[in-house]
Amino acid sequence: LELLGAMSLAAIIQGHCALNLQKWSDAPEEFGVGQNIPPAPLTLAEYEVLFARYPDMVAEDSGQRTPLVYDRGQNLLYLHRYRLAEEQIAQAIRQRRGRCPAEPYRLAEISAANRRFTGKDFAEDRQQQAVSLALQRNFAVITGGPGTGKTTVLASILALELRRNPELKISLAAPTGKAASQIRQSIIAELPYLNVSEELKGRLSSLPAGTVHSLLGLHGSSPKAKYHPDNPLPAELIAVDEASMLSLELLARLCQALNPQARLLLLGDKDQLTSVDCGCVFADICKNKNMLRENIVWLRQNYRSQNNPALCDFVSRQIIDRGMDLSSLYYAPLEQRNMFSASVHPVNGGSGPVKEQTFREQHLLPLLESMLSDVSGVESRGSTPLERWQKVASVADAYKFSDHFKVLSALHKGFFGTENLNRLISECLGLPLYGRGTPIIVLQNDKLTGLQNGEIGICWDDGRVYFRKSARTGQDGGWEYHPFLPAQLPPHDMVFALTIHKAQGASINNVLMVLPEHDHPVLSRELIYTGITRTVKRFQLWGDEQVLRAALQRPTVRWSGLTALLG
């Protein structure tokens, strides 16, 4: 039993919700990449005999509050708190599986809500179907990749609900501060397409959005939340974006804090990277066949990258459909690759300063010149793309350069890690830390400044760093710029390159994704998918084909019983 308890805890550390006793015996490689785990000591039948001998330690009912809980049907052994969390989520969802008691919306109302729906047949348009389902259900899931219109759906739902009931209490949330900020920015960007009054647009633009932690009243390391079953949230409609990043326990706490009459809407990408903590609850919910029929809409058409068929084709065939024919990716003529290309690492072999100089001068510099050559609508005294960034006239224009491209890496350390790439790109651009126009990224939430982990600011020559916030007016591109002295900032760093994990939720015109020189445990199919799908226009990949192939053959596996518990 001591070994089983230790292995159950080790499974949690690896991201699983429980220890799968069958998989431990038959497929130990699923436990965790790079882990040396002891062989399973017993058969399933022998485990069950053992559990029957110690009923005060192992039970099949979480209500008995034993340290371990055994799910016989799924062969899963849980630490008690994680089984309880799964049951709390499943119970909250099952209670909300039915229809809303309110009068249903007419299809004509839905079609007229957003100008993007004009001329589209409801029967063929998944966005309108998603709006309709969310308006009818107490629990709904909208899943789809980047650019498939999840924000269009959310904004349309909110507009219709507030037009019918202006006093409706709505809460918008996301797992991270950066994602929460993005919700507001995205809704504000959608306002011109909504067929509602200016007054209602003002209400929509003022809807607050915060982290799920702040919504629940969870602060710091304290486990106590303001909202819980005995003091439920006042909100009548809760919408959570980037739900793929929700951990098991965080979603359980949210479900426990819901008012019994509250509706819950989850939006996210089921194929994206999962939570850094245990569980893949969003993907588990999306796997349930009954939920797929009644409570889930999968948006499939990518409107953002529809002019880049090579990119869409690769994402569809190689990742989502799990094909493995990489020949077209690596050996197609360059002119046929259009806005999607891949190559082996530009620098193989060598070491030290020579490798660095070759990589910087022969590969990074031309790449940056190319990526920044089509930045438009900026005022600068520079003549070349790099000089234009160095001599840009305003913070707003510096943001345009920073937003235009990013180098994404799987790792922080190493030659092709973000730490080294940021240094090399900084040298190429002539933009040092705190130099005029240099972008920096906040590395942790800070209550004093209100800055969130992942927010990006621009350094300026008045010695300050400017962070943009969504403005409620359309002036200056819909942004307001808030200055801070560097000494006021929480931990931060320059951000020409960032990890794929930190890029979740971002939308970037030009992306270079760099893989490590050798296979690494962090590489997975979901990581590659997340990196590629940040791209709007042009994607390039630098990496070894065998490293890419190994990553695509390594889907994230997390043992869980939630899909079955949903019924």
Q: What is the CATH code of the structural domain delimited by 96-300?
A: 3.40.50.300
Domain borders along the chain are 2-81, 96-300, 309-427+495-552
Contact 38, 28 (CB under 8 A): no
Contact 268, 241 (CB under 8 A): yes
Assess whether the region 96-300 and the region 309-427+495-552 belong to the same CATH fold: yes
Amino acid at 331: Y
Measure the CA–CA gap between 217 and 158, rounded to whole angstroms: 24
Contact 240, 254 (CB under 8 A): yes
Q: Tell me what pLDDT residue 533 has.
A: 87
Q: Which fold has domain 309-427+495-552?
A: Rossmann fold (3.40.50)
Round the average pLDDT of the chain to a whole number and report it: 87
Q: Tell me what pLDDT residue 377 has.
A: 83
Q: Tell me what pLDDT residue 366 has.
A: 84
- Positions of the chain with pLDDT under 70: 33-35, 220-221, 305-310, 313-314, 316-355, 470-478
pTM above 0.75, yes or no: yes
Give the DSSP per-residue string, 458-486.
EE-TTS-EEEEEE-SSSGGGGEEEEEE-G
Q: Tell me what pLDDT residue 517 has.
A: 86
Strand ranges across the sheet with 139-144: 209-211, 170-174, 237-240, 263-268, 139-144, 296-299
- Residues ≥6 apart with Cβ < 8 Å to 434: 459, 463, 465, 486
Q: Tell me what pLDDT residue 471 has.
A: 63
Measure the CA–CA gap between 175 and 85, rounded to whole angstroms: 17
- Enter the DSSP assignment of 11: H
Alpha-carbon 53 to chain mean position: 44
Q: Tell me what pLDDT residue 474 has.
A: 46
Structure tokens at 424: 């090399």
Give the DSSP per-residue string, 300-344.
---STTTT-HHHHHHIIIIIIS-----HHHHHS-HHHHTTEEEES
For residue 561, which phi and psi values (nearest 5 degrees)? -110, 10
Q: Which letter, b or e, does each residue of 141-164 get, where b requires 16 or more Cβ atoms within 10 Å of its Cβ?
A: bbbbbbbbbbbbbbbbbbbbbbbe
Amino acid at 312: C
Structure tokens at 233: 């949230």
pLDDT digits (tens, 9 = 90+) for 11-20: 999 999 999 9
Strand ranges across the sheet with 68-71: 19-20, 76-79, 68-71, 58-59
Q: For 145-208, where are the E strands, in sequence order?
A: 170-174
Torsion from C-alpha of 549, 553, 556, 562, nearest 10 degrees: 150
Q: How many CB atoms lie within 10 A of CB 57?
A: 14
Measure the CA–CA gap between 370 and 310, rounded to whole angstroms: 19
The kind and range of the H/E element at 96 are none
Q: Which letter, b or e, does each residue of 428-463 get, where b requires 16 or more Cβ atoms within 10 Å of its Cβ?
A: bbebeeeebbbbbbbbebbeeeebbbbbbbbbbeee
The kind and range of the H/E element at 128 are helix 126-136
